[in-house]
Structure 1
Amino acid sequence: MRITGIRVHQVDLPLHEGGYSWSDGNRVEVFDATVVAVETDAGITGYGEVCPLGPTYLPAYAAGARTGLAELAPSLIGADPTELLAIDRLMHRALRGHNYVKTAVDVACWDILGQVTGQPVCTLLGGRFGNDFPLYRAISQDTPEAMAASVASYRDAGYATFQLKVGGDADTDIERIRACAAELGREHTLVADANTGWLPHEALRVAAAVRDIDVYIEQPCMTYEECLTVRRHTDRPFVLDEVIDGVPVLLRALADHAMDAINIKISKVGGLTRARRLRDLCLEAGITMTLEDSWGGDIATAAIAHLAHSTPAEWRFSVTDFNSYVTVRTAEGAPRREQGRLAAGTGPGLGIIPIAAALGEPVYRSV
Structure 2
Amino acid sequence: MKIKQIELLKQSTPLKKPFKTALRTAYTADEIIVRLTADTGEVGYGAAPPTAVITGDTLESISHNIEDFLLPRLVNQDMDELESLLHTVSSALVNNTSAKAAVDMALYDLWAQKHNAPLYQLLGGARSTLETDITISVNAPEEMADDAANAIDQGICMLKIKVGNDVHLDLERVKAVRERVGKNVLIRLDANQGWNRKEAVRIIRQMEDMDLRIELVEQPVKAHDLEGLKWITDRVDTPILADESMFSPRDALKILEMRAADLINIKLMKSGGIYQALKINAIAESYGVECMIGCMLESSIGITAAAHLAAAKKNITRVDLDSALLLAENRVVGGVQYNGSEMTLGKGNGLGIEGLIFPE
Aligned to 1:110: 108
Aligned to 2:213: 214
Aligned to 1:15: 15
Worse-matched range after superposition: 257-266 or 328-337:
328-337
Contact 2:264 2:290 in 1 (8 A): yes
Worse-matched range after superposition: 289-298 or 95-104:
289-298
Kindly state the Cα deviation for residue 210 of structure 1 after the two structures are TM-superposed. 1.4
Kindly state the Cα deviation for residue 158 of structure 1 after the two structures are TM-superposed. 2.1
In structure 2, C-alpha distance between the alignment counterparts of 1:288 and 1:52, rounded to whole Å: 27
In structure 1, C-alpha distance between the alignment counterparts of 2:86 and 2:129, rounded to whole Å: 29
- 1:328–1:157 CA distance, 2 compared to 1 (3 A): closer
Contact 2:293 2:316 in 1 (8 A): no
- Match for 1:260: what amino acid? D
Q: Equivalent residue of 1:303, what SS? A: helix
TM-score, normalization by structure 2: 0.92
In structure 2, C-alpha distance between the alignment counterparts of 1:148 and 1:186, rounded to whole Å: 14
1:32 aligned residue (30, 33, 37): 30
Kindly state the Cα deviation for residue 121 of structure 1 after the two structures are TM-superposed. 0.5
Contact 2:240 2:261 in 1 (8 A): yes
Aligned to 2:163: 166
Say whether 1:339 aligns with 2:340: yes
Aligned to 1:294: 296
Say whether 1:145 aligns with 2:142: yes
Aligned to 2:238: 236
Kindly state the Cα deviation for residue 190 of structure 1 after the two structures are TM-superposed. 1.4
In structure 1, C-alpha distance between the alignment counterparts of 2:328 and 2:80, rounded to whole Å: 33
1:257 aligned residue (236, 256, 259): 259
Worse-matched range after superposition: 8-17 or 61-70:
61-70
Aligned to 1:87: 85
- 1:82–1:46 CA distance, 2 compared to 1 (3 A): farther
In structure 1, C-alpha distance between the alignment counterparts of 2:274 and 2:37, rounded to whole Å: 19
Aligned to 1:320: 321
Contact 2:29 2:299 in 1 (8 A): no
Aligned to 1:226: 228
Aligned to 1:44: 42
2:151 aligned residue (150, 154, 164): 154
Worse-matched range after superposition: 5-14 or 316-325:
316-325
Kindly state the Cα deviation for residue 185 of structure 1 after the two structures are TM-superposed. 4.3
- CA deviations over 1:46-97 (Å, ceiling 9, x no partner): 11111134x2233222221111111122122232234332112212332222
- 1:30–1:82 CA distance, 2 compared to 1 (3 A): farther
Matches for 1:186-197 after TM superposition, within 5 Å: 186-197=183-194
- Match for 1:276: what amino acid? L
Q: Equivalent residue of 2:67, what SS? A: helix
2:120 aligned residue (110, 119, 122): 122
Which ranges in structure 1 are unaligned for 5 or more consecutive residues?
361-367
- 1:220–1:82 CA distance, 2 compared to 1 (3 A): farther
- 1:262–1:145 CA distance, 2 compared to 1 (3 A): same
Q: State how many pairs are aligned.
A: 354
- 1:92–1:306 CA distance, 2 compared to 1 (3 A): closer
Kindly state the Cα deviation for residue 128 of structure 1 after the two structures are TM-superposed. 4.1
Worse-matched range after superposition: 77-86 or 323-332:
77-86
- Match for 1:262: what amino acid? I
The runs of at least 4 consecutive aligned structure 1 residues that moved more than 6 Å come to: none
- Match for 1:280: what amino acid? A
- Match for 1:277: what amino acid? K
Worse-matched range after superposition: 117-126 or 301-310:
301-310
- Match for 1:112: what amino acid? L
* Aligned-pair identity (%): 27
Aligned to 1:364: none
- Match for 2:336: what amino acid? P
In structure 2, C-alpha distance between the alignment counterparts of 1:82 and 1:207, rounded to whole Å: 50
- 1:247–1:208 CA distance, 2 compared to 1 (3 A): same
**Structure with the greater relative contact order (CA < 8 A, sep ≥ 6): 1 or 2?**
1
- 1:285–1:158 CA distance, 2 compared to 1 (3 A): farther
- Match for 1:237: what amino acid? P
Which ranges in structure 2 are unaligned for 5 or more consecutive residues?
none
Kindly state the Cα deviation for residue 348 of structure 1 after the two structures are TM-superposed. 0.5
Matches for 1:269-308 after TM superposition, within 5 Å: 269-308=271-310
Contact 1:308 1:319 in 2 (8 A): no
In structure 2, C-alpha distance between the alignment counterparts of 1:79 and 1:96, rounded to whole Å: 22
- Match for 1:172: what amino acid? L
Contact 1:262 1:290 in 2 (8 A): yes
In structure 2, C-alpha distance between the alignment counterparts of 1:98 and 1:315, rounded to whole Å: 24
- Match for 2:153: what amino acid? D
Contact 1:82 1:109 in 2 (8 A): no
- 1:158–1:329 CA distance, 2 compared to 1 (3 A): closer
- 1:140–1:92 CA distance, 2 compared to 1 (3 A): same
Contact 2:47 2:102 in 1 (8 A): yes
CA RMSD of aligned residues (A): 1.9
